[in-house]
Amino acid sequence: MDDLPIVIDNGSYEIKFGVSNSRIPFRAINAIAKDKYNTVYLSNQIKGIKDISSVNFRRPYELGQLTSWELESAIWDYCFYNPEEFDGFQLEDTSKKHLVISETCLSLPEFSRNIDHIIFEEYNYGSIYKSPVAGFIPFADLTKDVISISGKADDDDDDNNAKFQEQLVTNDLNTYISSEEPSVTKTAEYKDFQLIIDSGFNCTWIIPVIKGIPYYKAIKKMDIGGRFLTGLLKETLSFRHYNVTDETILVNNIKEKCLFVAPKSYAESFKLKNKTAVEYVLPDFHTTFMGYIKDNSKTKLPDNAQLITLKDELFSVTETIFHPEISRILKPGIIETIIESLSMLPEVIRPLMVNNIVCIGGNFNLPNFSKRLTSELQRQLPTDWTTHVYIPKIDAELFGWKAMAQFSDTDSYRKARITREEYMEHGVEWCTKHRFGYQNWI
């Protein structure tokens, strides 16, 4: 019965799913949408919308909490019984299948119970293991496709990137030891101490994970995620250029294609704003539906093309992550949030945690985000602590799924999953209170 588990990272923006031995997961938009002609689109059908103006979204998640199974089950069906869209993938006899799934950190207990309930009784899985994404990250392979950034500089050369030494990780603690003397210590299945920064669609989480378990007392959250950044970009563009408050898809695309984080400081980037300016060609719905960045070397634009020139917008919106006050939000920024989380940890492990930070989630695809974070954080810490950040080379939004897939190949996993029989015996309340929910650890 032990065939490969199905792995689902059930994000509020996008579901990442697939068999655990796949290199990358399938992805499905976790929403339905309605265009201005009142046609409704399900999940990835949204990508086929031609007239993208005035498209409205509805998601199974509200503020990161999975509230609507009516909608989520329709989207899951689209994912699991739709081989035409997902390269032949489909679920067959689920009663013999194992499932590894993520859930929002600090889900309401009721929502947490609902997930187990649905998985066992609507989708009939044979076993389940569930955790916030951060709980899987210690199992991730940090030696492949991961960049590591140190906050300690070789300050000597004052060149562009003097502040950072960037290298592929080859010498983290575990692999170092095992390669030197393989007989003495066996490579551990997971890293003991990590500080996970998960910046996704809904918000940004700071989650210390100790021996594979989120340390709930010190978990902190900042209400700035991908959805907020798109909203703020909408407001900024609407004040300066055209009213785009109803253009979610367009603005989200501009965000993904053009925005970056000021690498050193806002002031520095502001001085260079004309150099880094971008001209974005807006959709005319004949030659382009989504718009694109103007490329001066390429062919001429159509005669009536509408352009917007983006300068400081490109980095002022993302600067809100560090300085929420610039968008009139009186909340702490990401550095203050991390420091608060650290201050809730036992003092002795604080330097260890800042030395083992892992950044995941789609917002870390923003150029310079992790570098800036590293240097800003280092500046606030005692000089003999070293900030050390691991960041996926590409596709930061997929890293969680990959870690989950790696976890599903460990003995820890095989011991921890809950079988259908256990569920039937103990019931849904038990799963949340004694196994998967935060209540088990608080």
Q: Is 85 in the site for other proteins (CB under 8 A)?
A: yes
Residue whose entry in the numeric block shows the structure tokens 């062919």: 299
Q: Which of 22, 53, 67, 365 binds other proteins (CB under 8 A)?
A: 67
Q: Which is nearer to other proteins, 57 or 301 (CB)?
A: 57
Residue whose entry in the numeric block shows the structure tokens 């947490």: 112
- Could you tell me the two tokens for 36? 């201005």
Q: Is 162 in the site for other proteins (CB under 8 A)?
A: no
Report the distance separating Cα 357 and Cα 196, nearest Å. Answer: 6
Q: Which of 30, 127, 318, 355 binds other proteins (CB under 8 A)?
A: 355
Q: Which of 294, 323, 414, 433 binds other proteins (CB under 8 A)?
A: 323
Shortest distance in whole angstroms from residue 304 CB to other proteins: 26
- Give the list of residues 6+ apart from residue 168 with CB closer than 8 angstroms, or none: 143, 146, 147, 148
List the interface residues with other proteins, window 138-157 (CB under 8 A).
Answer: 150, 152
Q: Is 367 in the site for other proteins (CB under 8 A)?
A: no
Stretch of 16-24, 184-192, 283-291, 389-397 contacting other proteins, by CB under 8 A: 184-192
Q: Assess contact for 251 and 232: CB atoms under 8 A.
A: no
> For residue 418, what are the β-bridge partners?
128
Stretch of 116-124, 281-289, 401-409, 411-419 contacting other proteins, by CB under 8 A: 116-124
Q: Is 33 in the site for other proteins (CB under 8 A)?
A: yes
List the interface residues with other proteins, window 385-414 (CB under 8 A).
Answer: 385-386, 388
Q: Which is nearer to other proteins, 289 or 438 (CB)?
A: 438
By rule CB under 8 A, what count of residues binds other proteins? Answer: 126
Report the distance separating Cα 404 and Cα 10, nearest Å. Answer: 11
- Could you tell me the two tokens for 110? 């009721």
Q: Which of 4, 42, 290, 301 binds other proteins (CB under 8 A)?
A: 42
Q: Which is nearer to other proteins, 74 or 301 (CB)?
A: 74
List the interface residues with other proteins, window 164-183 (CB under 8 A).
Answer: 173, 177, 180-181
Q: Which is nearer to other proteins, 224 or 405 (CB)?
A: 224
Q: Is 220 in the site for other proteins (CB under 8 A)?
A: yes
